[in-house]
Chains A and B, each alone.
Chain A
């Protein structure tokens, strides 16, 4: 893992075997049943958007994937093999990298230093091999068509939010990762920077990584994703292809857990059955529902343009 750096993970057909698959995963914290029989899959070469209201269990699911939390029950399949992930290091060893919302960069180090943090290259006499690191960092950024940074020796403190996000994402790619999880990568960015980062997300998938994108922003999700997984109160409401759903359906899945015949049907899957958990998370996510609805309203004007764009993306991927 340490030898290969600029990862060119083999392209597999997007619709084939999922690289990462969770089957009926459960996770509780004391009495709170946060994840209930959640199924989830991510495919290489695709962007899978993980959406859901506040408290729906997105972060918990991601932390289970990343090994921060161990799952209580259920199956965790990676490349078709049953694996146990109890520690972030287990996930990293499999090739799963998480880019956190708060980025986890050291502002006082330069770009190269950050990209190789904790995994520095050494040359003879145990000294840092700065040249190799700088070259590899440069190649990785160039491979992702990142041209916004002037010098790799710039301190991260001098970078803009979008550039920092870019560095954080590029860092995750440097390690031959197969699955890259992005937690709200555009949350704090302006319009132009958001576009840049989304482009980068798309490129990651095109290069063969399985990308899992967590986002609150409907516009981002619609623009960049191939599949959408909607969590609702700790259950997987639906995991669908982007091309099969409309924005309204997604918003309904997020806010109500179902949309027409999609999603959790009352009675069959029994949203009543998890009443306790539902109340618990609902209280936390009360305002989030309104946010999502508002976002939906705001984005309605874009709804016409968006499918065309992402449709083209899909065709190319």
Chain B
């Protein structure tokens, strides 16, 4: 297990690994921090690093080979394409943390979205009640699935495969002969239609406020933790690292907000001549709220700790007095609830719900996103940010591949490449797991 002593990448030959005295100076703590991170990486805890690197490589690649990939219009498009995948993947992270799988998440989002659409269109229910109904339905579906897994002890693969099939049938029934239910153009805006034109983008000033709040909040929380840790005499993240991360976030965020603040309307004919499309899609705010909220839930609460514990060793968790069955049910509830949210987001983007909504490769893309982001298929390892990074990777591949290969095989290649990336990520996962357990020989 003990790997050979390698050179410290942080530079300076003075700090040999294994050296005891952690210097009191800033350089010393930085070195210690870097060494710690390196050791974790060697132990198989790579986190989202591969996904982030992959994302950068992919973006550079597509920017070079494909004209218009980095156009303003396409950047906004990318974000909204990624949104439903990311939300779905966030739910799957919870299920995957327990080493379970939810194959029905995609079609569950279909059931919920169809319910919402039918309520709005055919029964004239207010859009907000319809959204609430969709989300509650998601929670109920998740409870049933979780109960069947935890109490009836049917493997989640089978339970959710069955649910996957029957949910598809339910969507067919809901949508009916028409083949799709079109959402009204204006009635549901601006909240339902999280993406679209005109009045459903965030005002420019709000984009900047959002950036300030996110970056400032991040720095504040991190620094507060560091201060309290230091007060308690414990190791903490060096201030310099926190500052660097915040600055990086600010720069990237500012570029993003600035670019999306420009008018990105493609003025091709006289009819659209004075059309202005500028601002950040509301769905970005939704993603930020979900990311912050769910990350808090997983990493700072007792519930989150127990989710990890059950995923790591359910017998140990049971002996520690954790109600394992409840945790198991709860992750399926969370997953299906988030699937419902994803369904609402997707439906509002498409402005309709078709009879194959959520079927096909929806689920696979979301699972792929979570795994590519660094969530383990074997349980016990994963974070909400994994879904974000992985979802972006998947969306970039889809978006970039879409136009890369022209002709009939375009779609085919898109699927093949996505599949290969998923396989690569799963291979990474399996290998790092073996390395982490020390039996990679």
Contact = CB atoms under 8 A, between A and B. Distances in A.
Q: Do A and B bind each other?
A: yes
Contacts of A107: 312-313, 380, 437
B10 interface: no
* Interface size class of chain A, counting residues whose CB lies under 8 Å from the partner chain: 20 to 34
Given A106-B317, A109-B308, 17 more contacts: A88-B319, A104-B315, A105-B316, A106-B308, A107-B380, A108-B311, A108-B381, A109-B312, A113-B309, A117-B316, A127-B300, A128-B300, A132-B232, A155-B43, A157-B436, A158-B43, A158-B436
A116 to B, nearest CB: 9
Interface in A35-80: none
Interface in A141-164: 151, 153, 155, 157-158
A153 B37 CA distance: 12
B228 interface: yes
B316 A106 contact: yes
30 contacts: A100-B319, A103-B316, A104-B316, A106-B309, A106-B312, A106-B313, A106-B316, A107-B312, A108-B311, A109-B305, A113-B308, A118-B321, A120-B302, A120-B305, A122-B302, A126-B301, A127-B300, A127-B301, A128-B305, A131-B229, A131-B232, A131-B234, A134-B232, A134-B234, A135-B234, A151-B235, A155-B43, A155-B436, A157-B436, A158-B436
Interface residues of B, number: 31
Interface string B312-351: 1101110111100000000000000000000000000000
Interface in B290-309: 300-302, 305-306, 308-309
A113 B321 CA distance: 14
B313 A105 contact: yes
B36 interface: yes
B233 interface: yes
Contacts of B315: 102, 104
Given A89-B321, A105-B313, A109-B312, A157 B437 contact: yes
Contacts of A108: 308, 311-312, 380-381
Interface string A85-113: 00011000000000010111111110001
A148 to B, nearest CB: 14
Contacts of B381: 108
A205 B301 CA distance: 35
Nearest to B436: A157
A109 B320 CA distance: 14
A106 B310 CA distance: 8
B45 interface: yes
A117 B317 contact: yes
B94 to A, nearest CB: 15
A223 B438 CA distance: 32
A109 B36 CA distance: 16
A273 to B, nearest CB: 37
Interface string B14-46: 000000000000000000000010000001010
Nearest to B45: A155
Contacts of B320: 104, 117-119
Contacts of B322: 117-118
A74 B438 CA distance: 47
Given A107-B437, A128-B300, A131-B228, A117 B234 contact: no
A132 B231 CA distance: 11
Given A118-B322, A126-B301, A109 B229 contact: no
B302 A126 contact: yes
Nearest to A118: B320
Contacts of A120: 302, 305
B316 A157 contact: no
Contacts of A103: 316
Residue among B228, B313, B438 with most chain A CB within 10 A? B313
Nearest to B313: A106
Interface in B198-235: 228-229, 232-235
Contacts of A100: 319
A1 to B, nearest CB: 13
A95 to B, nearest CB: 15
B97 to A, nearest CB: 9
Given A104-B316, A105-B313, A157-B437, A119 B321 contact: yes
